Amino acid sequence: MQILITGGAGYIGSVLVRELLKSGDHKVKCLDRLFFGKESLEDVISNPNLEIIKDDIRWFDPKILKDVDLVMDLAALSNDPSGELDPSKTLDINYLGRIRVARLSKEYGVKRYILASSCSIYGFQDGLLDETSKMNPLTTYAKANNKAEEDVLPLADSKFTVTVLRFATVYGYSERMRFDLAINAMVLSLYKGQMIPVMRDGTQWRPFIHIKDVVTAYKLTMSQQPDKINGQIYNVGFDEQNYQILSLAELISKALNINYGIEWYGSTDFRSYKVSFKKFKETVNFKSEYTLQDGVLEIFEELKAGKIQDSLKTKTAAWYKHLINSYELISEVSIRNTIL
């Protein structure tokens, strides 16, 4: 199968690319702006089944979609802080850019399209939320996801299978490591002997999923018969991995056997959502292979081994700010309207 992955050099994309290349059954095109470099794919760059295309979903040449069977659309400004750096550009990329990918995919005869969305579109709500619950997107990032979902789903027909995957918050090791995700950040704080930062008052709910389970979710989705998943939205995660943030800190501390203190910051979090993942589980027989403890120990061991390090590049919004202030990005902006 010929697969195009937008954002394929990113936190999730780089793990997904590796997994799809393992079998030797797939040819993968990775479309990415490479603002974080090629290092996340360094060990597979020479793989003959991988093509890396440095470009932007807003203006790439659509000819790259010729002969593509499946598009996995992951490219986006990937969290709330990044999304608020310039809300108009976030909508350009995370909404209009992905609509462009979906529409061009259909135009060029791609058979399947999978949109990476987020459970963050539930915003703040009580109770257990499923795919029929109302949307309450509170940030630009969440609003862009919501709008993208609304516009890609009507493209579905008998020749073009569209599936939306609303992921829980991801954790775990990646070659393009991120320490701006809740679990990853807490592990880093404990490794550095620091207090765990918790946004007040810690009672807010979040669902979580290990990055390798995310990859499994993609593989299961692409293996389904089109009529089973076409035009469908799925929450992707596991009911047992819904956690309140303060209790999450305690669980991580216990997993590592490290005492911790809490560093409170900010005002009370206005986002809180506890999510049901029953629909996806029953549709594709999705089972958790990795626990919170697995992910926590994995990250801690990689830090100890020096395989990953805390750096500016591991904090997405901070790295974008650095690029904005760098000569290279300013120069590029003067030529064409780029990321922010």
Per residue in 291-333, pLDDT tens? 999 999 999 999 999 999 999 999 999 999 998 888 554 444 4
Q: Return the CA Rg of the chain.
A: 19
The residue ranges of DSSP E strands in the chain, in sequence order, are 2-6, 27-32, 50-54, 70-73, 112-118, 124-129, 161-167, 169-171, 196-199, 205-210, 232-236, 242-244, 262-265, 272-275
Spatial separation of the C-alpha atoms in residues 40 and 176, rounded to whole Å: 5
Q: What is the reported pLDDT for 327?
A: 52
Residue 336 has pLDDT above 80, yes or no: no
Question: Is-cis flag, bond preceding 201, omega within 30?
Answer: yes
Length of the chain in residues, anyone?
340
For 231-273, the pLDDT digits (tens) are 999 999 999 999 999 999 999 999 999 999 999 988 888 999 9
Confidence of residue 56 (pLDDT cuts 50, 70, 90): very high
- The structure's pTM equals 0.94
- Provide the CATH topology of domain 2-335: Rossmann fold (3.40.50)
Tokens representing 19 are 């997994």
What value does the mean pLDDT take over residues 138-160? 98
DSSP letter at 174 equals -
Spatial separation of the C-alpha atoms in residues 312 and 329, rounded to whole Å: 16
Q: What is the mean pLDDT of the chain?
A: 94
Q: What is the reported pLDDT for 115?
A: 98
Residue 337 has pLDDT above 80, yes or no: no
